[in-house]
Chains A and B, each alone.
Chain A
Amino acid sequence: MEVIFVLIGISLVMAGGFLWLFFKAMKGGQFDDQHTPAIRILFDQKTKSKANKKPPKKKK
């Protein structure tokens, strides 16, 4: 059952990696605002540029 060493090793490394990511995110200010991002994704940009608005004439 020595493979357990390997599995525990990998899992600890990965868990440690995720902990480091958590700290980095904390410092990078990812969690400062815990409400507005959910609303922000709803504003898909209705830019008035021509390409988006009127479809080009039908191909083929």
Chain B
Amino acid sequence: MEEMPVRIEKSKIVSCFHCGEGCEDELLVRDEKNFCCTGCLTVYEVLNENNLCDYYDIEVTPGTNLKEQEIRDNRFDYLDDEDVINKLIDFRDEEQTHVTFTIPMIHCASCIWLLENLYKLDPGVTFSRVDFIKKKVQIKFSSKETSLKSIVKLLSRIGYEPRINLSDLGEERGLKSDKKLIYQLAVAGFCFGNMMFFSLPEYFSETELLGNGFNHLFNYLNILLALPVVFYSATDYFRSAWLAVRNRSVNMDVPIALGIISLFTYSLFEIFVTGQEGYLDTLGGLLFFLLVGKYYQQKTFDTLSFDRDYKAYFPIAITKMVKDREVVIPLTKLDVGDIVKVRNEELVPADSLLLDAKASIDYSFVTGEAIPVPVKKGELIYAGGRQKGGAIKLAVQKSPSQGYLTDLWNHDAFSKEEQKDSLASLANQISGKFTFTVLFIAFGALIYWGFSDVSIGVKAFTSVLIITCPCALAMSTPFTLGNVMRIFGKGGFYLKNTQVIEKLAGIDSLVFDKTGTLTAPSKAKVSYQGENLSEVSKRMIKALVNYSVHPLSNSINQWLGNIDPVLLHEVEEIPGKGLQAKYKSKTISLGSALFLGVGPTDNAGNMGNEVHLVIDGMYWGVFRIASSIREGIEKMVPDLANSYEVHLLSGDHNHEEQYLKKALGENVSMHFQQSPKSKLAHIRNMQEDRKRVLMVGDGLNDAGALKASEVGIAVTDNISHFSPASDGILDGGKLNHLPDYLDFAKTGRKIIKASFGLSFTYNAVGIFFAVQGLVSPVLCAILMPASSISVVLFTTIATNFQAYRKGLNDKEMILWK
């Protein structure tokens, strides 16, 4: 028995029992608990039947909101497909199948509890374990009683839909190499620890106190323990050094390998020939700290890997036409000859022939040209193009390759030319020369001391090799920029790569697009003035607007609600002007006043652009769409204006100019009725007088301008919909943080420069002492990794601290978690 959803007034919004969000638009009450949507309610019912209600008392409102959950139920059909299953599962035999799902929604103890009690919901499941940090759940189920698809369906029903990503099936197990490093680290640590014990007496007391047998015993034990360190833990360094030397280049590992070999051989010489104790404990310490440094570096790089795996953008499921019935299949399953239906804004998955009469394909992905290319029946459409307008049917000519589609974004057509004075290139040049100078100084020291005292010579030689550390130069730039990128990523601002940050730091003028960027399309207020519209005319407008992707047509589409469109033919969209189509005998056109030749109406005063409606030449009325500016913009733009030169380009008329002037302040130079071409031209001539331009647009109709400017940022509301020409994607809600991001990029540059200085002074001082043989190898074995770690720590802490001060990331830094 389920009560009817009851309308509630604004003041008394009660929070949903399942997901804790306010139940604004509907309130379902069940066992005197209230739910915000049917999604949450169904989850509660499922749990209630299987007495799993502890889920709600481990954490308060643990569920995730299920309002906009797609209700297309054939979404998971492709999971019945045999070799998709083989790709997804980890292991299978006749009884048992193991599968590991990534479920981003896992966020609290209740999620863990529920997912680990799956066997209560589906008896087929025998085992389920959650890894909280990786947000993965491993499920074992008996192949007879249940299937992969039913489990995925169950999971999505209780609000934990796994993110299935066919593209990362090929992802090789990164874990293996990580484990090998930990084994090497453990061996090095164990041997280093023990060697320290046996060398400890050397440090503290005169040797004769040791008594006869022990001296040699400890030396031989040290050698015994040094063997695994040199021949197991150090293999990676030897291999990479050998590779570098083989093709006659030099990398960071060459001096290290040289240092290890010299230390080992010299210690053997000292123990066996002269009977002293040698430097084996230094060798152990050196390798232990090197591997610790490497482990730390690897872990930070893992976390820095670009959060948004852009491979995920491409539509995974393609709707294939089987005898005009739509079937959803995975991209990889598509093969030559299939007939595919591609809807508006979806990508053409593979080179294919057009079956419909006409289509307009936007190749901005492939070539960067924003203007859609009209294609006639039977012509070839290339993979990566995007259909503009209604759904079209295609016959696949070439089997799709996921790889080709994935690296479109970093395609050189989009990448801007390498910035001359970018810090990354500077670091590469220096580190190349650095290693040569170090080798030169080391051999110089060896020869210099060779005459007077060989042992100091060897000591100086090894300590110079070990103490100098180019890694600070090589590591500080990627670490800082990587960290900055990670912080941006957390703040909803995804960048293509780290060079973009450096360019951001160099920006001096900003260009904003109005529609879709400064204004939020979803919150537009639409009003209609004129003859009232009959049912048929509404359906005609609906069909017409359905074809176009323009923000204004989107708003009207939303305003009309979901009435089913009528079939139109000869639909034509004139970019920047309007839409025209024929229905039975009548022609209907919708567009700007200029396009329809209608005189300016009396409402010049108030805000919003107008879309006029003319049917069969008869003027019906006008849609007035007042787009409201995103909140926080009124404050942001004036601040930016006094430190940057701010321009506003907008495609529609200037009737909103006074309003915008009032809202955005005086010194913003505004230009209206800008077609995509004129926007591009505007950017070009700004660049002529040596301005470094940052263009912020919605990426739909200003792709060209985004590509031309130094840095192009596309503002979108749902992240999955983006334009490749941009260098970064900024979440609509976060636009008001733009000033923080800009000067945070500047601080990033300053931090890198500081770390260069730090590392340079360290190396200079280090070499100064090492050459005189004053520094014992133990000390430099500790100093070298300490220096690289200190640089990395310095950069990370500095960036986090700056971010914290700017309020970009509020979570406090916990090193251990």
Contacts and interface: CB of A to CB of B under 8 A. Distances in A.
B194 A42 contact: no
Categorize the interface residue count of chain A.
Answer: 20 to 34
The 9 closest A-B pairs by CB, nearest first: A33-B131, A36-B132, A35-B132, A35-B133, A39-B109, A19-B190, A43-B113, A36-B130, A39-B112
6 contacts: A12-B194, A15-B190, A19-B190, A34-B133, A35-B131, A36-B112
B214 interface: yes
A27 B129 CA distance: 18
B179 A39 contact: no
Given A43-B116, A48-B51, 4 more contacts: A4-B214, A26-B183, A39-B109, A42-B109
A1 interface: yes
A31 to B, nearest CB: 8
A46 B52 CA distance: 10
Interface of A: 1, 4-5, 8, 12, 15, 19, 22-23, 26-27, 32-36, 39-40, 42-43, 46, 48
**B: interface residue count bin:** 20 to 34
A46 B51 CA distance: 11
Given A19-B186, A26-B179, A32-B131, A46 B112 contact: no
Contact of B182 (A12, A19, A26): A26
B666 interface: no
B186 A22 contact: yes
A40 B194 CA distance: 36
Interface in B647-680: none
A49 B720 CA distance: 48
Contacts of B214: 4
A50 B650 CA distance: 72
Nearest to A36: B132
Which residue, A5, A15, A27, A39, has most C-beta atoms of chain B within 10 A? A39
A45 B611 CA distance: 63
B211 interface: yes
Interface string B790-817: 0000000000000000000000000001
A18 B186 CA distance: 11
A40 B217 CA distance: 49
A33 B129 CA distance: 10
Contacts of B133: 33-36
Given A4-B214, A12-B194, A15-B194, A39 B186 contact: no
A13 to B, nearest CB: 12
B379 interface: no
- For the residues of B in contact with A, the DSSP-based class is helix
A33 B817 CA distance: 12
Contacts of A5: 217
Interface of B: 51, 54, 58, 109, 112-113, 116, 129-134, 175, 179, 182-183, 186, 190, 194, 211, 214, 217, 221, 817
A17 to B, nearest CB: 12
A32 B179 CA distance: 10
Contacts of A27: 179
Contacts of B179: 26-27
Nearest to A18: B190
A42 B109 CA distance: 9
A7 B129 CA distance: 43
Nearest to B218: A8
A15 B130 CA distance: 33
Contacts of B175: 32
Nearest to A2: B213
B231 to A, nearest CB: 17
Contacts of A22: 186
A34 B190 CA distance: 22
A36 B186 contact: no
Contacts of A19: 186, 190
A60 B122 CA distance: 44
A59 B109 CA distance: 39
Contacts of A40: 112, 116
A35 to B, nearest CB: 5
Nearest to A16: B190
Contacts of A35: 131-133, 817
Contacts of A33: 129, 131-134
Contacts of B54: 46
Contacts of B129: 33, 36
A50 to B, nearest CB: 14
A5 B212 CA distance: 13
Contacts of B194: 12, 15
B136 to A, nearest CB: 9
Contacts of B112: 36, 39-40, 43
Nearest to A46: B54
A23 B186 contact: yes
B113 A36 contact: no
A15 to B, nearest CB: 7
A60 B616 CA distance: 98
A22 to B, nearest CB: 6
A5 B133 CA distance: 46
A23 B183 contact: yes
B659 to A, nearest CB: 52
A32 B186 CA distance: 16
A19 B112 CA distance: 32
